[in-house]
Amino acid sequence: MNSKRTRWATVTFALLLLLLLAGGLLLSLTHGSWVLSGSRVAQIILAKCGILTVAEPSPVELAIIWDGRLPRVLAAALVGFSLAVAGAVMQGIFKNPMASPGVIGVSSGAALGAVLAIYLGLTSVFTASLPMMAVGGALLTLIIVYVIATSAGRTSIATLLLAGIALNLILGAVTSFVITLSTREFDVGRVIVTWLMGDFNNRNWMHVEIVTMTALSALALIFCYVRDLNILMLGEESAANLGVEVGRARNILLLAASILTGGAIAVAGVIGFIGLVAPHMVRAIVGPDNRRLLPLAGLLGAVFLVYADLCVRLIIPVDLKVGVLTSLLGGPFFIYQIIRYRNRFEYM
């Protein structure tokens, strides 16, 4: 009975998330300084894809929908999906309710890598340098945090969090130093500062392609090891006894989480707390099985970020960046999690 109830809750929750996501996509495409009907938006997209030949859209409509709103909302959905799945994977590996790309320093590492790519002008020479530097920074930071927190084969959750906090401070200081250097070139400095706040303004199809490639490649790795991830949550010793190659599975899953984080940050800048909040909300509804948790957490992350972008674009009158809004919403949740789990810090 309990299994049937869980299955029903999973299906219902998935349908709800899909409806919310569809509604967010529709609102994003139809509303703005130029309001269009849903049917007209559909005609424009189908005409651009060559499926519909009637009612040829004007160049202005094409620019607004195809070149502006559509890549922006798709980028927001894919970034939210990537960060939420990365957070769920990290929480499963570390058995840590507060593990997420932002908390343990991975986002800061990815941000520093991307900032260096912008500052050094690598993006103008090689477009893929930004996501490559972001993924590399995320992976290197994750390795450092894990090495610091692991002793004699045991990983301390408290040390993991403290190491993440320390690396966040160090990497933030280095990033600030790079920003200081970039102020000599006003345009470069402005791009870096705006990007660090987390933003989807002026996102185009290239950004959609970047986050799509990183998400698909990482998800392929994750779902090859989703069974191992479920077993790892029982503990590394138990997982080894059950036939899991612990080191290999853990390293591949961490690599996938770094790819997801790096790709998302390369496209949107620093977006905080989605990787922390989304997995918790989904886990409370569908349980800890990662075969259900990962896709649904990703969907919730996509929904959350699409509506957050809608909020900063249409509702808030000032030029508030979406990364600032997610931090304002996620910060109190993180404090709540610290209070809730403060007596559970122990060695795995």
Closest by CA position to 266, among listed 134, 98, 116: 134
- pLDDT of residue 55 exceeding 70, the answer is no
Spell out the residues 6+ positions from residue 287 whose beta carbon is closer than 8 angstroms to its own: 6, 293
- Mean pLDDT in residue range 45-53: 79
**Residues 178-214: pLDDT tens digits?**
888 877 776 777 778 877 888 898 889 999 999 999 9
Give pLDDT, residue 242. Answer: 84
Give pLDDT, residue 346. Answer: 46
User: How many whole angstroms separate alpha carbon 177 and alpha carbon 113?
Assistant: 13
- Mean pLDDT in residue range 157-186: 83
Mean pLDDT highest for which of 70-84, 309-323, 325-339? Answer: 70-84
Helices (H), the chain: 2-30, 38-48, 59-64, 70-94, 106-119, 122-125, 129-149, 157-182, 186-196, 205-224, 226-232, 236-241, 246-268, 274-286, 290-310, 322-340
Write down the CATH number for the domain with range 70-340: 1.10.3470.10
DSSP track, 26-60: HHHHH-SSS---HHHHHHHHHHHTTS--SSPPPHH
Q: Tokens representing 106?
A: 């991975």
Q: Measuring CA to CA, how many Å separate 313 from each of 72, 191, 221, 327?
A: 11, 19, 35, 17
User: How many whole angstroms separate alpha carbon 91 and alpha carbon 101?
Assistant: 10
Give pLDDT, residue 47. Answer: 84
- pLDDT of residue 22 exceeding 90, the answer is yes
Does residue 243 sit in helix, strand or coil? coil
- pLDDT of residue 281 exceeding 50, the answer is yes
User: How many whole angstroms separate alpha carbon 264 and alpha carbon 258?
Assistant: 10
- pLDDT of residue 343 exceeding 80, the answer is no
Q: Which residue has the tokens 């992350």?
A: 301
Mean pLDDT highest for which of 135-139, 169-173, 324-328? Answer: 169-173
Contacts 24+ apart (CB under 8 A), 178-185: 178/112, 178/115, 178/116, 178/119, 179/115, 181/119, 182/119
Q: Which of the pair, 157 or 150, is modelled with greater confidence?
A: 150
Give pLDDT, residue 51. Answer: 78
Does residue 98 sit in helix, strand or coil? coil
Does residue 156 sit in helix, strand or coil? strand
Give pLDDT, residue 190. Answer: 78
Percent of the chain's residues with pLDDT above 90: 32
- pLDDT of residue 341 exceeding 70, the answer is no
- Confidence class of residue 342 from pLDDT cuts 50, 70 and 90? low
**Cβ-based burial of 149 (10 A; exposed 0-12, middle 13-18, buried ≥19):** buried
- Confidence class of residue 254 from pLDDT cuts 50, 70 and 90? confident
**Residues 134-154: pLDDT tens digits?**
888 988 998 898 888 877 766
Give pLDDT, residue 216. Answer: 96
User: How many whole angstroms separate alpha carbon 178 and alpha carbon 121?
Assistant: 13
